[in-house]
Amino acid sequence: MSILTEDQINQLKKASYKVIGNHKHSAVKLCHWTKESVKSAGKKICYKQKFYGIKSHRCIQMTPALPFCTMRCLYCWRDTSITYPEWEGPFDDPETIINESIKAQQSLITGLGGVDHGPEHLKEANDPNQVAISLAGEPTIYPKLSELIQKYKERNFSTFLVTNGTLPEKLKALDSIPSNLYISVSATDEEMHKKLENPIIKNSWKRINESLKWMSTVDTTTVIRLTMVKGWNMTSPEKYAEIVSQANPKYIEVKSFMPVGWSSKRLPFEAMPSHEEIQSFSEKVADSLGYKLKDEQKESRVVLLSK
């Protein structure tokens, strides 16, 4: 049984998602940088490897909550018409999701054996040890997220969790904290939040701020991701600094919106800031917070700030 129809699942498959599990609410998609790392024998890597030391070619990009989210962000790469704010129907247990996610990654990696690649990197890619719980949807809606994180850890995976912060009660209930905890922030006030992120639950802005305050108490690598959309939210860096300061994160990623997937149907190409514009904006945020520019990756239009 699945909340998604066969047509919707087929549409996701055409977009290179591998929908997994008995109840079809989880998915894996091979990251561009996973492929690039294998093909280049590690010469081309994602910013997560550059910033945090994980290996791009050993990383699974997945979600346990594909059709579930509390917002329909304009910059989301997914078809947000397939979006439910609360869990509906049965769900797969964490062990099933983990086993299926590894099998899906190995299946997706197979095709890289037929192109120029680094043999050692291809071999390592078949033995993943990093999971980015960030592909689509809001993962905190999955009822057994804490157990999922713990089970991945027990298999010696590092775990990156990306959340929109609209469900602080779910975050506070986590018994197992991920290696890297991200909260995405894309607005400086409620009006901007509603226009760009299109929440479908009540009190979402208040809830995000509650999650940011909670983040300051968490003992792990904490990251705020600012997704910048030119002409929409790339204003008032000092206000972003004020919002972010509640979380007291170790790192801040200032990253450009990318016009890929369904986002290109909602926002024009011109809404993507240049890397130079991201750099300039990042400097202003850093100055307002007393952070410093630690690193950057031009290809991904992202700058890393740290204390």
Mean pLDDT computed over 137-155: 97
Q: Does 257 fall in a domain?
A: yes
- Within a domain: residue 208? yes
Which of 112, 118, 147, 125 is closest to 61 using CA atoms?
125
pLDDT averaged over every residue in the chain: 93
Residue 1 banded pLDDT, cuts 50, 70, 90 = low
Task: Calculate mean pLDDT across residues 144-172.
Answer: 97
Segment 137-153 mean pLDDT: 97
Whether 1 is covered by a domain: the verdict is no
- pLDDT tens digits for 68-121? 999 999 999 888 888 999 998 899 999 999 999 999 999 998 876 666 677 888
Look at residue 57 and tell me if it is in a domain: yes
pLDDT of residue 121: 87
Average pLDDT over residues 184-207: 96
What pLDDT, on a 0 to 100 scale, did the predictor assign at position 62? 96
Stronger pLDDT, 181 or 33, i.e. the higher one: 181
- Residue 87 lies inside a defined structural domain of this protein: yes
Q: Give the residue with greater pLDDT, 12 vs 243.
A: 243
Whether residue 195 contacts residue 231, with contact meaning beta carbons closer than 8 Å, is answered with: no
For residue 198, the domain's CATH number is 3.20.20.70
Q: Band of the pLDDT at 285, cuts 50, 70, 90?
A: very high
CA distance 133 to 181: 10
pLDDT in tens, 20-37: 999 999 999 998 888 888
Q: Express each pLDDT in 85-94 by its tens digit.
A: 999 889 999 9
Average pLDDT over residues 201-225: 97
The residue with greater pLDDT, 219 or 81, is: 219
Do the domain assignments include residue 274?
yes
- Better-scored residue on pLDDT, 13 or 305: 305
pLDDT at 119: 82
Is 182 inside a domain boundary? Answer: yes
Domain that holds residue 110: 6-306
> How high is the pLDDT of residue 227?
96
- The pTM of this model reads 0.93
- Is-contact 223 182, C-beta < 8 A? yes
Could you tell me if residue 19 is inside a domain? yes
% the chain with pLDDT above 70: 98
Tell me: pLDDT of 39 over 90.
no
What is the number of domains present in the chain?
A: 1
Lowest mean pLDDT among 8-12, 245-249, 270-274: 8-12
